[in-house]
Structure 1
């Protein structure tokens, strides 16, 4: 064997050892799980039946009224109804903000982008008026993220195998004739998250090898924080200094959750859990975790610091159906299905094979309790996803996954059952 050949062999072996070492470091765990019919007692889920580290949250019975202290409140677009159907077409993404009207007077504005056209509309929650903020047509937007007057809109390019991401900007006072102007990011951004302050974004690209960058919203001033030989990540940015990376969930695949700091330091939170989805609290102290069971779903609130869990015993849901309060670190809001048919979750839900009919619940960790906040009208078949709150947390907004219409629920005067 020549000297050059020997050197080449040594280099190849070294690379293989390095890749194997990275895999073992990030994706292995002392907990070995070979089926998805149960979870190890060492996981945040215990063994589904409860363990020394898993405390059940006592469910609250679901009454037959629209809220705990009143009669059934059907969907009605009027100032007196807490529930309003906002959009007139399917949406790609939305935000809420306060706009100054005059002096100290403000109006709550819900801004969204339509999926089919890319048009931007604004709903004034104060007077129930819906107006057009941009008539620029960008067909077939499937996802949009908002930060102030900036929108990042994704669509499939003409080649059908390219993800395009357009960064558009609106003026402070847009009108129906406003043109959405902007630039494009590099193609094939597979995951994207905007910082809590709204001035930075994390993008994930690089094909099969994950390259994660933090940059300004227009893609300038990028800083590399992740280089990893795996690219199937669901990304959130709950805390200004820390992101969460969770492997994209599937019922037949063990999932892992990590914290990634904005300086590039990666820490494993939990893992080896089939169908794992997560939603982390802004203080990073807790996370809503959901997992695949044998034909169903298990849900817990995981105390990350104490390594203990509170289980949703009789009313599980998917973590994607939850949002954490930014004003109270012990409060979250979740949409919980009235019924969960046997299936492979979350796959069947993602693929549209199963749709849920949800109710809105408040999770209070000080009690602890999962309490009914509002029973959604069954005739609307609302399958809740993409939840977000306004700054005062007086209103909860969400998309109906069944048709992608945007809804809003005023929660400030609703009394959770059991309080």
Structure 2
């Protein structure tokens, strides 16, 4: 009997012990569950040494809800380094300032709907419901109020390139929806290339004709007045229109073919040679053409250089006007900053041995970019961010643009055409004005003949 009582006491102690252990575990779970950041605090830092706020991963990368007519919620807390502005494919974008706030205005490839998003908060709103299916290229002018969309249309078993020009009728309030009003000026079909001046006031396009190519300027105000300003027997040009009305004309690039670039003055009808005999040549100038980037392929390795307006020369063999920028990139991956001498670029690695830019244009290779700032006065480069370290993501940068506030580097990821922003460090220096009064030396008669159509 005494042994049986002793066994009961032992069972009571065992059960009591189990209950105590379970209670201790429960208390620990409840206590630690209130602060799960204990394991995260070690090493949870930004590239610049700031401790990350305790936010979900979706807040760190600035992810947003699917785009639509409803506004996305504002993300509170510190602005992330990278923010996804649109998950859907984007055909083109610009930046506008309204009520002191900078917005990114963009066009969806799928249906031509236009959205606005605040890059500082991620708040997105659809502002038009005019449907234009399968837009592959879009441009904005007139402070974002004129839209140019390009798409393919099937006509008699042939693909026709349509260039649609319209004006935005913006919503009158937060609940209403805007639309696109077609322009009375119809642009011709099969335009081969389009360029909008950086200030958004003029459009230049190239149209193939029987004797080569024709170039037309249009003023994007209430009265368009299209005017042919250029005609050339050589048709393979890529144009860039500057704010002063001059046009940079660069031969279409290929890794194994020497390229050329000329500055065309439509008033004086003069061509000035800028770049000559560089394989895989691509170019990108600032708003007035005072600084022109050029990329070339040397032994299947990319090189980035720059010409400045003071050093443009039509004399053969003069090379001291070139400056090498020590970044492996293409001009298409760079954007000019609010400071005249500042340049921001996506720079890639591992491209040696590839035929750039051909294989990149054709989608045969994808490039992974880190982000850099360049002082073009000194060619000094400064590292900004590596997206793989910050958000574990690769970016292949295209269509880069610095927003009007100078706070964000806006770009499209070529891998999926999604729209992103990167927060920039605050610029330092004087916002000096650029001298646009410098004159360019004209070509000799022999060089004029060369530029007039003998480039092959």
Gaps of 5+ in 2: 1-44, 64-74, 312-319, 429-456
Which residue of 2 is the match for residue 28 of structure 1?
none
Aligned counterparts, 1:64-213, within 5 A: 67-70=47-50, 75-77=61-63, 78=75, 79-100=78-99, 106-147=100-141, 148-159=144-155, 160-173=158-171, 177-183=177-183, 184-207=186-209, 209-213=212-216
Q: TM-score normalised to the size of structure 1?
A: 0.76
1:66 and 1:223 mapped to 2: Cα distance? 52
Aligned-residue Cα RMSD (Å) equals 2.5
The answer to whether the Cα contact below 8 Å between 2:112 and 2:131 also exists between their aligned partners in 1 is: yes
The answer to whether residue 402 in structure 2 is matched with residue 389 in structure 1 is: yes
Cα distance change on mapping 1:376 and 1:348 into 2, 3 Å = same
Asked if structure 1 preserves the Cα contact closer than 8 Å seen for 2:294 and 2:304, the reply is yes
Count residues with an aligned counterpart. Answer: 345
Q: Which residue of 2 aligns with 1:232?
A: 236
Q: Which of 367-376 and 151-160 deviates more?
A: 367-376
- In 1, the alpha carbon distance for the partners of 2:220 and 2:287 equals 21
Is the alpha carbon distance of 1:303 and 1:331 closer, same or farther for their aligned partners in structure 2, counting shifts above 3 Å?
same
CA contact (8 A) 1:285 1:303 kept: yes
Distance apart, 1:165 and its partner CA: 0.7
Matched, 1:265 2:267: no
**Partners of 2:104 and 2:118 within 8 A in 1:** yes
- State the alpha-carbon separation in 2 of the partners of residues 361 and 410 from structure 1: 12
1:216 maps onto 2:228 in alignment: no
In 2 relative to 1, CA 380–414 (structure 1 residues): closer, same or farther, beyond 3 Å?
Answer: farther
Question: Does the residue aligned with 1:180 lie in a helix, a strand or coil?
Answer: strand
Q: 1:299 to 1:395 in 2, by over 3 A?
A: same
In structure 2, the residue matched to 1:400 is 413
Q: Which residue of 2 aligns with 1:23?
A: none
Following the alignment from structure 1 to structure 2, what is the Cα–Cα distance between the partners of residues 229 and 348?
28
Q: What is the CA-CA distance between 1:237 and the residue it aligns to?
A: 2.0
Q: Deviations over 1:354-406 (max 9, x none)?
A: 11110111001344312111222363221001111122312111111111111
Q: 2:252 aligned with 1:248, yes or no? A: yes
Distance 1:220 1:301 in 2: 34
Contact 2:169 2:181 in 1 (8 A): no
Quick one: structure 1 residues 66 and 346, their matched pair in 2 at CA, closer, same or farther if it must change by over 3 Å?
Answer: farther
What is the CA–CA distance in structure 2 between the aligned matches of 1:71 and 1:312, rounded to whole Å? 33
Distance 2:247 2:352 in 1: 33
What is the rounded CA distance, in whole Å, between the counterparts of 1:193 and 1:367 in structure 2? 29
1:297/1:316 contact within 8 Å kept: yes
Q: Is the 8 A contact 1:107 1:125 kept in 2?
A: no
Once the two structures are superposed, residues 37-87 of structure 1 have per-residue CA deviations (whole angstroms, 9 ceiling, x without a partner) of xxxxxxxxxxxxxxxxxxxxxxxxxxxx86445579962344520211101
C-alpha distance in 2 between matches for 1:71 and 1:234: 46
Length-normalised TM-score, structure 2: 0.70
SS in 1 for 2:387: coil
Q: Is the 8 A contact 1:289 1:301 kept in 2?
A: yes
Inter-partner Cα distance in structure 2 for 1:274 and 1:195:
27
Shift of 1:288: 1.4
Determine which of 272, 275, 279 is the counterpart of 2:280. Answer: 275
In structure 1, the partner of 2:40 is none
SS of corresponding position for 2:310 = coil
CA shift at 1:176, angstroms?
Answer: 6.0
Q: Which residue of 1 aligns with 2:364?
A: 353
Deviations 1:209-241 (A, max 9, x none): 110011123893122211001222111123323
8 Å contact kept, 1:277–1:290: yes
Pair member with larger Rg: 2
How far apart, CA to CA, are the structure 1 residues paired with 2:370 and 2:204?
32
Q: Is the Cα–Cα contact under 8 Å of residues 68 and 373 in structure 1 kept in the other structure?
A: no
Q: CA deviation at 1:304?
A: 4.4
Unaligned runs of 5+ in 1: 1-64, 101-105
Aligned residue in 2 for 1:6 = none
Tell me which residue corresponds to 2:444: none
Return closer, same or farther for 1:69/1:271 CA change in 2, 3 Å cut-off: farther
The structure whose residues are more often helix, as a share, is 2
